[in-house]
Copies of this chain bind each other. A is one copy, B any other.
Amino acid sequence: MSNQVKFLLPEDRIPRRWYNIQADLPKPLPPVLHPGTLNPIGPDDLAPLFPMELIMQEVSQDREIDIPEPVRDVYRLWRPAPLFRAYGLEKALGTPAKIYYKYEGVSPAGSHKPNTAIPQAFYNKQAGVKRLTTETGAGQWGTSLSFAGSLYGIDVTVFQVRVSYDQKPYRRAVMETYGARCVASPSNETNYGRSVLEKTPAHPGSLGIAISEAVEIAATNDDTKYALGSVLNHVLMHQTIVGIESMEQMAMADAYPDVIVGCTGGGSNFAGIAFPFIGAGLRGGPKPRIVAVEPAACPSLTRGKYAYDFGDTGHMAPLTKMHTLGSSFTPPGFHAGGLRYHGMAPLVSHLKELDLIEAVAYHQTECFAAGVLFAKTEGIVPAPEANHAVKGAIEEALRCKREGKSEVILFNLCGHGHFDMAAYSAYFAGDLKDDKYDEKELAMALSGLPSVPEAA
């Protein structure tokens, strides 16, 4: 360990601007459609759900958007996040590759999610919003928005997928510690929730249902808005501070990545580390390979269809063009709850269509094996989601070994696994299975995709 392992920026190097990849796209994003009319929507259509500042960020074509100073002040609690050289992992793999990782688990919520929860709460506070609703599965996003709400004095109501609500009471306890109210979804608090419970009283819930419930509350209450933890353009843009910092830290290490790896569920942590590098490439700079790693049990990028689809089960949220498994698709119950979503962020999907990124899928047990090796060699226990990025980086490093290449690999370690040790327990006990989704169900979900006008 005689070489430098950690690259830490001084506090005044917290980025002052987010990077908006829309400014550099060779082809613009397809429009967003109204769930009722299926016509392209404008900013006003989103006003019931989001404050105007965030809507303008969603559609902005400006390359850089200033980070408000009060947001930077809160970022200071844990940013700049460290970037490490993974000497221990390299040695264990016997690879000539140089592996670097950005570590976002240093935030109070233990993941990258507060990078967007803080500005979202800030803009809502500024707009006079009293309450935010959101959905959460495993709980990372719900925790982060609860944390942000407590700092800004905004009430937060989290619709947590019933099965997670029952199985993971500890995540609920974190949200409650931050003063948030956590409701099991489907619930009796919304028309949509009641309609689901009427048909299926013991429904285990899903992210798509929880989104519908959170959206309904926001759409029908003047003082309440909705917040989403991934997928949307502005959410991905807030995460670009991860990549902007990493770029400067790689320069400190006197290196530039040949390959960048991130795990993808909705796409936000992947976008955070990758977009600034992709943008630099689009503007004439070096073009690293960009690899998105997704769970084989919920493979939207590798097996989904690039098509217009709803973001929620109740079809109240707008339609976007994305890689989707169909909004009625229910992924098996694997442990990386943050990656269990039927769709992929429109921006990430668009980049995939433009061949600017690659995608690969791995099963959960091989990802846990990768995470355990990482913990033993690097000291940090990754979240189950982050294990997918670790697995992707290891596979690239082993390829380098086979090919005798000393490439530079950079990946995003988006969170620690301290809240997820039940999954590691199950892994050690041999109780984890590599659930395969039902091919018939996927085919049916894909055949049920909505028809939209040709122009879109």
Please give the residue numbers on chain A whose beta carbons come within 8 Å of chain B beta carbons, in ascending order. 1-2, 5-6, 8, 10-11, 70, 73-74, 76-77, 84, 88, 106, 108, 110, 147, 150-151, 169-174, 176-179, 371-372, 375-377, 379-381, 416, 418-419, 421-422, 424-425, 428
Contacts and interface: CB of A to CB of B under 8 A. Distances in A.
A88 B151 contact: yes
B376 A421 contact: no
Copies of this protein in the complex: 2
7 contacts: A1-B70, A1-B74, A5-B73, A6-B77, A174-B424, A176-B428, A419-B421
Contact of A11 (B8, B150, B425, B428): B8
Given A174-B381, A178-B376, A169 B425 contact: yes
Given A1-B70, A170-B421, 13 more contacts: A1-B73, A5-B76, A6-B76, A6-B77, A8-B11, A77-B379, A108-B380, A110-B418, A147-B379, A174-B418, A176-B428, A177-B371, A177-B381
B73 A2 contact: yes
Nearest to A80: B8
B151 A379 contact: yes
A316 to B, nearest CB: 31
8 closest A-B pairs by CB = A170-B421, A418-B418, A1-B73, A173-B425, A173-B424, A108-B379, A173-B421, A150-B376
A222 to B, nearest CB: 26
A110 B108 CA distance: 11
A180 to B, nearest CB: 10
Given A108-B381, A150-B379, A170-B425, A177 B372 contact: yes
Contacts of A179: 376
A455 to B, nearest CB: 46
Contacts of A10: 8, 10
A387 to B, nearest CB: 11
A10 to B, nearest CB: 8
Contacts of A147: 379
Contacts of A177: 371-372, 375-376, 381, 424, 428
Nearest to A73: B1
A150 B375 contact: yes
A94 B344 CA distance: 46
A356 to B, nearest CB: 34
